[in-house]
Chain A
């Protein structure tokens, strides 16, 4: 006896001492395999018995087999009678299956835990509660020949459990598996290059333990109206499919399982039968004479009786059907991706890992876009192999992910912007587009062209990490977003600048340090990149995916995220969520001008002050602060400040002062890290239309012209109200050309009604 087995006997003795009427055991015997066989006698007592439950005796005898390495390996209990045979969780009629997995076995609790479990097992067996309807059903047992190539079943059964069906399985033969990749009613729909196997789905359950002998098994089939002739016919049919060198595969289904929701499902077993050639010749033909017909019948009889007398063995079957398998990421955010159509732009340090994580979540479609090549230096942190070196990233990654994922995965070796804009209808079909390009240029171009995509894309999320790969910022734009990720990031930056605790993030992304952290991996001939490991990239990409996948389906707003790596140094991880509320967007010439609600609110407050200090007829105004991007053709107005103290207010006239404005500009620019600078001026037209006057034009022209104050460009915003109709006028002034003869200005203008008046 090993020390572990001695421990088991000691524990049994103690159990018998405290429960002399409940547990008793006889002299243990060491078996040839060094397991200890201990005959037990257990009192069951009054237990609740329900119809269909195991009818237990008041005292049950069973044998406990204790392994040599007990308690690290659990014991096995079996009975020597057949009263438990056929009952769920009784394997081969005698062995009690108490534990679903090793996780449930607690070595420290030894036999005390084992008997607690056994008592519960017996109680549930008596109450017929071994396989509650809300849970999965224990699959039947059959003799499996593990030397055979396993079958992998990835697709749900073609018909509901309980429905009889005869058809064909399309097979994909791989070195390690034969995968069933489709069900077909007839061979017409199967590609000629694919192997096939006959499928027979039985309407009724087979016994919990499949009969071992062919004769007994055929008897079970006969109960389901598959008599000798029908079985032979099916086998003959099966023999006509598949390769000559292969056994005759018959995929057999019976409604012996339940899905996670309790609904009946097919259990699949694959019988590999012999006699392919013989089976093929038993089919009678019209030209048969009596002798030939008799010969065919004799061969059929011989085959049948040979099957009857032989032991049936079954191929290993590995189930990957969604109707059976409970996802191991059940309840986790990534489960959101199941069945989704996803476009991943950028297959580099972030995208290559993000692609892998998404592909494992079983999306319906995953398109990968990148026009980069796999270089050896990338392997340190990108999801490629040495064999991928020199290959296009997108196609190499698609091939890699396709090796394990059931999703349709394609790689596109092309520019991300071109892919999106080149086929807007295609872009509109994705449930989610993920931008892992980390490319400012791509984002700016996308912003410039956003008008083509706005309202068509369902959702777009973008991720950027810092130069040390310790922090990330991301935007998640809903289908109604008026802007693209470029402005999304700008707004996120603006919000982070106003928040506390975020200076680490701001320094990481919007400082000299942010640039300094980048480096050229191949000095002189490569783009600067961040310094980070595969772990850093995986960590941040994973957090990003979890964040966007955990958004409630009904949440249609856009969101910005800023977060740090969970183990980023000594400081507490940062995690900021910034709602990106809708902005007014007004097209002025070639620009899309976004106006924050803060602008209206601020202007309204200054007008109120003016009306109180002076009169409603006096005009007032001030400066506009925001961001002007003439590459992306967007202007964002974040705020409006009041009139500088040296301004002049008169009825029908406002002269904007200058005192303190340079300091104000410097302060705002610093605080916003360059995202909110002076971009123009505003003033009011009380009781008038917000159309610009000649004086307004002259003022703005003087402001932007190189001949004047040389601002090059400026925005004028006029709030007016005529006959109760509140409007705002937006005027974009740009100096677009100048030579010795003079200067040409472009003026874009727009008049928009206001929901709430400012003046």
Chain B
């Protein structure tokens, strides 16, 4: 993998090849303000032969500098699962993080069935540290101590949390333009879809932070949808609720959608009560398609080992096929297939006055290349084998 990756000098959103897990970097003000949504830094990614990118190493090299140290304006954690915060402890040591965004789920006590991984615990500790710092000086919170708790939860009414000022809290339906104390209105806005107030008892996946990030460039803009690891019922609810409130409906549109839960089939195949098997929920696919902007992309932040075997974790082939049906040819992109499976590289979507553009490093074929390759492979080589073929009795 190249060692000289640099963040673009334009507003941009970067999806990294970090295995099956999420790591998205948003350039909000080039050279100054960068936001990171989730992190999945794999130790083995430091191996030069491993296709996954060691994201922290690259962030340290390419992030803007403040006081000589790499500076990240915001780190947003959609939910405290390992594949969304792996490496946070290391990131915290190597990078100055101006503001943390997270859901109240981080503060909730977790059962043995839903334990926090070490990096999530580090995140929770850091959130508590900041909470205390804010409560100590609520009127002038400096960068490095800032926090934004997103979503309503009863826990926030408890003593240790209730003193948090409004500037440190957001709820579903809010539009956030403040980034580590800097108001980026007209350039950046994060519309909060979820968590909803009654999500608090749900599992971590379904309390994920769901955002629609809008980046403006002149009169045009790009929209980027994040659903964390949400599943069919709670994503559908996002569409239903947002459609109900007409003024918020524009925040359902998307130019790039990060496939929820690394391309999980549970987004569109769901087993309702009384049903034996999960069935396709076309309504959610219709929602996705309805709000896809022209030339939209769906990103699966995952390895390329798509599977449909029962019990297998994502990425799921069934989900991929459904997503592929609603975007233009080449519009479904797996981070570990871009531009090739052998040498994956970050997907960089820049926001220009002409709209969102993927600096597409893939070769655009004059034919449906995969189809042609499959036909060629299925036809057989038609020539002598390249390896010896053994015969005779078993020795």
Contacts and interface: CB of A to CB of B under 8 A. Distances in A.
Given A45-B330, A56-B329, A112-B378, A119 B360 contact: no
Interface residues of B, number: 33
Interface in B112-142: none
Given A55-B328, A126-B329, A47 B374 contact: no
A41 interface: yes
Which 6 A/B pairs are nearest by Cβ-Cβ distance?
Answer: A19-B374, A46-B330, A59-B324, A123-B367, A119-B371, A58-B324
A22 B321 contact: no
Contacts of B367: 47, 119-120, 122-124
A123 B366 CA distance: 5
Interface stretch (A10-18, A242-250, A650-658): A10-18
Contact of B370 (A14, A45, A55, A111): A45
Contact of A115 (B325, B326, B374): B374
A425 interface: no
B111 interface: no
B293 to A, nearest CB: 14
Contacts of B369: 45-47, 119
Contact of A57 (B329, B375, B377): B329
B321 A24 contact: yes
7 contacts: A21-B370, A45-B330, A45-B368, A46-B365, A112-B375, A113-B375, A126-B329
B371 A43 contact: yes
Contacts of A297: none
A395 to B, nearest CB: 59
B375 A119 contact: yes
Given A18-B374, A46-B329, 7 more contacts: A20-B317, A24-B321, A47-B365, A47-B368, A56-B329, A109-B379, A115-B372
A48 B371 contact: no
Contact of B328 (A18, A57, A113): A57
Given A58-B325, A58-B328, A127 B377 contact: no
Contacts of B306: 21
Given A46-B330, A46-B362, A116-B376, A57 B370 contact: no
A406 interface: no
A43 to B, nearest CB: 5
Contact of A123 (B317, B323, B325, B368): B368
Contacts of B374: 15, 18-19, 22-23, 115
Contacts of B378: 11, 14-15, 17-19, 112, 115
Interface band, chain A: 35 or more
Contacts of B262: none
Residue with the highest number of chain A CB atoms closer than 10 Å, among B320, B326, B369: B369
A49 interface: yes
B369 to A, nearest CB: 6
B375 A45 contact: no
B360 A44 contact: no
A57 B324 contact: yes
A57 B372 contact: no
Contacts of B326: 57
B373 interface: yes
B226 to A, nearest CB: 21
B163 interface: no
A55 B330 CA distance: 11
A145 to B, nearest CB: 38
Contacts of A23: 371, 374
A42 interface: yes
A118 interface: yes
B14 interface: no
A129 to B, nearest CB: 8
A215 interface: no
A61 interface: yes
Nearest to A56: B329
Contact of A119 (B327, B363, B368): B368
Interface string A25-43: 0000000000000000111
Contacts of B320: 21
Contacts of B323: 58
A11 B329 CA distance: 25
A119 B324 contact: no
A60 B327 CA distance: 10
A198 B56 CA distance: 78
B297 to A, nearest CB: 9
